[in-house]
């Protein structure tokens, strides 16, 4: 597993026409990987909805709790929330807008 050097979140594998990359779903950081040296598999836990005919996979669900807070970029009132520690050991609240995917930190 590799982590984003910008925001310290997990990097996910993605194939593009220009090659294979590890990307951060939170800040957009991308790192090109050499598929001959690095082997990555992507595992997703999809949201499932029960239907009469069985289970249908709808879409991947964000694995973070949602909170009511205004996005500074698009003014949407819902965001995913998580926390991390800064270098001084203080907890920094982080948010990702459910609409525009903007990521920001709450400053004291």
Same CATH topology for 1-38 and 66-105: the answer is yes
Domain segments of the chain as ranges: 1-38, 66-105
Q: Digits of tens for pLDDT over the chain (108 positions)?
A: 788 888 888 888 887 788 888 888 888 888 888 765 555 554 555 555 455 555 544 445 557 788 899 999 999 999 988 888 877 888 888 898 989 989 998 876
- Residue 10 DSSP one-character state: B
Residue 31 tokens read as: 């790192």
43-56: buried (b, 16+ CB within 10 Å) or exposed (e) per residue? eeeeeeeeeeeeee
Residue with token string 């595992």: 43
pLDDT at 59 (0 to 100): 46
Q: What would the 3-class secondary structure string for 12-47 be? A: EEEEECCEEEEEECCCCCEEEECCCCCCCCCCCCEE
Tell me the CATH class for 1-38: mainly beta
Residue with token string 């594998």: 13
In the CATH scheme, what architecture does the domain 66-105 have?
Single Sheet (2.20)
């Amino acid at each position: 597993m590799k982590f984003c050097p910008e925001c310290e979140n997990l990097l996910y594998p993605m194939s593009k026409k220009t090659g294979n990359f590890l990307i951060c779903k939170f800040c957009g950081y991308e790192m090109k990987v050499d598929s001959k040296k690095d082997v990555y598999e992507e595992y997703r836990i999809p949201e499932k909805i029960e239907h009469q005919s069985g289970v249908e996979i709808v879409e991947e669900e964000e694995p973070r709790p949602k909170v009511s807070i205004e996005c500074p970029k698009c003014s949407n009132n819902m965001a995913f929330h998580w926390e991390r520690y800064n270098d001084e050991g203080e907890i920094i609240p982080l948010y990702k807008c459910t609409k525009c995917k903007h990521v920001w930190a709450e400053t004291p």
